[in-house]
Structure formats: structure tokens, C-alpha cells
Structure 1
Amino acid sequence: MRGENKRSVIVGIFVLVGIAILVVGVMTLGGQQKKFVSAIQLKAVFDDVGGLQTGNNIWFSGVKIGTVRKINFYGDSQVEVEMNVEESVGKYIRKDSKATISSDGLIGNKIIVIYGGSTEAPQVEDGDRLVAVMPLDTDNMMETLQANNENLVEITADLKQLTGKLAAGEGIVGAVMTDSTLAQNFRTILANLERASTNSNKMIADLNSFTSKMNQKGNMLNELVTDTTMVTDLRATMENLRATSANTEVLTKEFQAITAKLNSSENSLGMLLNDPEFAKTLKNTLENTDSATYNLNKGMEALEYTWPFNKGFRRKAKADLEKEN
């Protein structure tokens, strides 16, 4: 009798422990599933849920806020997902927020992620439908990766072929890499470029020095650049030079005309300079005139001693002598 009571007590204890574990499990699962939290229902329509199941979690800003309540077919080939979301979180979710399907980890269960929304839009209410955004398709991603792998293999093969040609000295680059003469020429070109760069830097330094000197007050270049009075004088001088040049041109033309007339036999001076017959005649005339003048002088001297004029010349000589005394 005593052993039976002991056995009953032990069985009762195990039953109580089992009930307690059951209650704790139910409470835990209920807490995870948000069964005992006041919630609102939101909906979203997807073209493909990708394996999403009832009871999967719903996340917002990295926080679990609810679970998938129900999944129904919608329209022709779409799927409507009903979500239980904590009512206390509803004030942070806006009507223009979006819902998409993601994964809990790399290969974890599917989840729904709510994101976005502007502060200008009102908060969601029970029964609102969010805009659904389709996630990236894993199959498409794998196909893209496969295509990229094939392209990478082709690029690797081309690169291998290219490096082989370079090592064999084919092409310009290969020749430069393998031919010592071309390499030396290339070094010479680089040295010349470096020398040209040095000379350019020196020229720039000299130009800067010249510019700084030109900016110093007191030198002629600075005065030419800054002194407006000198600029005015230079302009006036240039105008005078231009006028002088024009006058010189006119004078040259006139000299050319005079020279042309002097070279012509149509005028007296031109005939005198260019006609030898006229010059000979003029010379004979001058010689004859000189001879006639000489003879005239002789005649005048002889006239003094002739009888009709002798008395007059004597009077004149006597008058001149008295004037001198």
C-alpha cells in the first residue's frame, strides 16, 4: 500500500512536469508565432512566393514583427499572402511601404521583409495591401553566374594566348619586351622625353622670371604695359610714321615720274641729258659764244685807243683818280 502511494506520487509529479513543459512550449511557440499578441492583418500579392510557407516570419527594419497567416491563390496565377503584424508596430509602417520575399540566412527559411515608406504617407490599417516587390530569382542568378564563368574561361584562354605571344616576342609589345635593341631605343626615347620635360620646365621658369621682371615698376616693358600716356605717345608716333610712310611713297612716285621725264628726249632737260647731237651742238654754241666774248673784249680794249673814244676814256680815268683821292 505504501509502495503504491509512492508510485502514484511519482507519476503525478511526472504528469505535472509534462504539463508544465507543454504549457511552456505552447507559450513559447505562441510567442514566436505572435499568437498571443494583438495584431493587424496586411496583405501582399506576389507572382511567385518561392517556397514561402504559413508561419514563416515577417521582418521590419531587422526586427521580427509577425508571421505569415495564410497563403491563397489570387487572380490568374498570382499568390496572395496574408500577414499577422503586431498592432504596436503598425504605426511605423506606411501605406506606401513595400514587401518582398527574402531568406533567413543563405539557405534558411523564406521570410517576408517590409521596408521603405515615406513619412508623408499615413500609417497602415488592418486589411491594407502593400506593394509587392519580386525578389531576385535564384535560378536566373545561377544562369548569370554560369554565363559569367564561361566568359571568364574564354577571357582566361585569350589571356593565356596573349601572354604566350608576348613571351615569344610577337607583336610590338612582345618585341619591346624581348628585343634588347628596341628596349634600348625605348629607353633613349624616354631619356629624350625627360630631357625635353626638363627644358620645358626651365623655359617655364625663365618665362616666369621674365614675367616677374616685366611686372616690376621702373622698367620699360612695365611702363609700356601700364603707362597709358606712353601708349598714347606710341600711338601718335605710329600715326606719324604711317603718315611719313605715305608721304615717302608719294614722293617716291613723284621721283619716279621725274626720272622718267629725265630719261625721255621729249623735253629740254631730257634732250640735254640724253641727246648726244643736241649736247654736241650746245657745246659748239658755247665755244662760239666764248670766242665771240673773247673777241668782243679785245675789241673793247682796242676801242680805248681809237681816236673817237680816246678823249672820253681819259676823262673817265681822271674822274676815277680824283674820286680815289
Structure 2
Amino acid sequence: MRGENKRSVIVGIFVFIGIAILVAGILTLGGQQKKFVKAIQLKTVFDDIGGLQTGNNIWFSGVKIGTVKKINFYGDAQVEVEMNVEEEVVEFIRKDSKATISSDGLIGNKIIVIYGGSTEVPQVEDGDRLEAVMPLDTDQMMETLQVNNENLVEITANLKVLTGKIAEGKGIVGAVMTDSLLAQNFKSILVNLDRASVNSNRMINDLNTFTAKLNQKGYLFNDLVTDTTVMKELKASMESLNATAANAEQLTTQLKGVADKLESPDNSMGMLLNDPAFAESLKSTIENTDSATYNLNKGMEALEYTWPFNKGFKRKAKAEEKAARGN
């Protein structure tokens, strides 16, 4: 009887220990899964959850704040994820926060990461839906890497061909690197460029010196810029030149009018210069006048020897002779 009681006590002890271990395991797993923590429910909708499962963790600023409660199909080809989030962190999550899918480590389980949100926006409430941001697709990343690898291989092949041509002396770069005469010519060009640079610097220095002298007192440029008397005299000279130019222009206009009148047969001078008939008539008149004058002179000479005027001319001759003697 005593042996049976002892066996029952031992069995009871083992059962108690087993129950305690079971309760401890349940509490531990429940604590990890946030089963016994007050939480609110948030939702988000993804086009592709990439293997996310119920019970996966939810992170916010590097801290685990909940788990995935349920995954449902939504709309035509989307997936709605229901999340249990601890109430004690709700005050840090805003209505404009975003949710995305990430990995727990390089090849770990999928997790949901909540981030962002501005302090001006109210905190989330039970049943709110967060904006989903699709993560980078690993397959697309691998395809992009594959394309980059192919491009890199092609670039490497092209570089191999290019360096081979350069080593063989083909092209301008190859010729420069392999042709010693061309290298010497290139060196000579560089020397000439260096000399030209030195000459340019010297010319710039000379120009600076020249401009500095122009700004010194006593030079014409400085006087023109700073001396008000010179400026007044130049201004007066310019005004005189302008007046002279105006007078010359007026004189030119008047001379043009006189020339126009001389070219016109409507006046005496114009008729003299431009009317050939009048010129012939004037020439004939002058010839006749010259002939009449010649005949008049001959007549006067003959008149001296006629009887009525003979005595008078003799008296005039004697008077002129007497006056000449008195002198």
C-alpha cells in the first residue's frame, strides 16, 4: 500500500513538472508571438508578399512590435495583410506611415517593416490601413546583375581589342605611344605652346603696365577722364566743329543752288554758259565792237592831219614838249 502511494506521488510530481514545462513553453512562445500583449489591428495591401507567412514579425525602427495575424486575397490580384501591433508603440506610428516587406537577415524569414510618418499627422487607430511600398524584387535584381555582367564582359572584350591596337601602334594613341618621331613632334608642340604661354603672360603684363600708366596723373587718358577743364574745352571744340560743319553744310547747299542756276538757261549767267546761240551772238558783237574801235582809232589818227584840227594838235604837242623841259 505504501509502495503504491509512493508511485502515485512520483507520477504526480512528473505530471506537475510536465504541466509546468508545457505552461512555460506556451508562455514563452506566446511572449515571442505577442499573444498575451494588448494590440491593435492594422492592415496593408501588397501586390506581392514574396513568401510572407502568418506569424512573421513586424518591425518598427529596429524593434519587434507585433506579428502577422492573417493574410487574405484582396481585389483582383492583391494580398491584404492583417497585423497585430502592440498598443504601447501605437503613439509612435502615424497614419501616413508606410509598410514594406523585408528579410530578417540576408536569407532569413520575411518580415514587415513600418517606417516614416510625420508628427503633424495623428497616430494610427485600430483598423487603419497603411500605405504599402513594394520592396525590390530579388529576381529583378538578379536579372539586372546578369545584364550588368554581360555588359561588363563586352566592355572587357572591347578594352582588350583597344589595348591590343594601341600596343600594335594603330590609331592616334597607338602612334603617339609607339612612334618616337611623332612623340618628339608632340613634345616640340608642347614646348612651343609653353613659349606661347610665356609670351602671352608677358604681353598681358605689358598691357597691365600700360593701363596702369594711363591711369596716372599727367597722361592724356587720365586728364580726359578726370580733368573737368579739359572736358569743357573738348566739349567747346566739339560744339565749334559742329557749328562749322553746319555752316559748311549750309554753304554747300547755297553753292549747289548757284550751280543749279548756272546750269539753267533762265538767267543771264546761265544763258552765257549754256546757250550756244547767245554765245555766238555775243562773240559776233565783240568782234564788231573790236572792228569799230580799230576803225575809230584809224579815223582819229587821220583826223590829226585834217585842216580844221591841225592847229589844235600842234598846240598840244608844243605844250607837252614845254612841260617835259620844265620837269
The two structures share one fold, judged by TM-score above 0.5: yes
Equivalent in the alignment of 1:206: 206
- The verdict on how the C-alpha distance between 1:17 and 1:216 changes in structure 2, with shifts beyond 3 A counting, is farther
TM-score by length of 1: 0.70
Distance in 1 of aligned mates of 2:119 and 2:85: 19
Distance 2:34 2:64 in 1: 10
The whole-number CA distance in structure 2 between the counterparts of 1:30 and 1:4 is 38
Name the counterpart of 2:165: 165
CA distance in 1, matches of 2:127, 2:166: 69
Matched length:
266
Partner of 2:90: 90
- Note the alpha carbon deviations across 1:249-299, whole angstroms, 9 max, x for none: 989xx9xx9xxxxxxxx9xxxxxxxxxxxxxxxxxxxxxxxxxxxxxxxxx
184-193 vs 226-235, greater mean Cα deviation: 226-235
* Cα RMSD after superposing both structures: 3.6
Query: How many angstroms apart in 2 are the aligned matches of 1:24 and 1:199?
Result: 93
* Pairwise CA distance, 1:237: 3.3
Structure 1 residue 30 displacement after superposition: 1.8
> Counterpart in 2 of 1:226?
226
Q: Which amino acid aligns with 1:137?
A: D
| Alpha-carbon distance between aligned partners in 1 of 2:26 and 2:186, rounded to the nearest angstrom | 82
State the partner residue of 2:134: 134
Distance 1:86 1:230 in 2: 92
Q: Identify unmatched segments of 5+ residues in structure 1.
A: 258-265, 267-305, 318-325
Q: Provide closer, same or farther for how the CA distance between residues 308 and 229 of structure 1 changes in structure 2, counting only shifts above 3 A.
A: closer
Letter of the 1:39 partner, please give it.
Answer: A
Deviation at 1:7, TM superposition (A): 7.9
The answer to whether the aligner puts 1:25 opposite 2:20 as a matched pair is: no
Counterpart amino acid of 2:199?
Answer: N
Alignment of 1:47-58 (within 5 A): 47-58=47-58
Inter-partner Cα distance in structure 1 for 2:170 and 2:10: 92
Deviation of residue 211 (structure 1)? 2.9
Provide closer, same or farther for how the CA distance between residues 200 and 2 of structure 1 changes in structure 2, counting only shifts above 3 A: farther
Report matched runs for 1:196-275 at 5 Å.
Answer: 196-238=196-238, 240=240
- Measured after TM superposition, the shift of residue 310 of structure 1 is 9.6
What does 1:151-190 correspond to in 2, within 5 Å? 151-190=151-190
- Equivalent residue for 2:123? 123
Give me the whole-angstrom Cα distance separating, in 1, the residues matched to 2:153 and 2:112: 37
The Cα shift of 1:44 comes to: 0.7
2:76 partner amino acid? D
Secondary structure of the 1:130 match is strand
Structure-2 separation of matches of 1:15 and 1:220 = 121
State the shift of 1:191 in Å: 1.5
SS at match of 2:129: coil
The alpha-carbon deviation at position 26 of structure 1 amounts to 2.6
Which residue of 2 is the match for residue 149 of structure 1? 149
Give CA deviations for 1:203-259 in whole Å, capped at 9, x if unaligned: 2222223333333344332222222332232243355567778999989xx9xx9xx
Match of 1:274 in 2: none
Structure 1, 239-248 or 52-61: larger mean CA deviation: 239-248
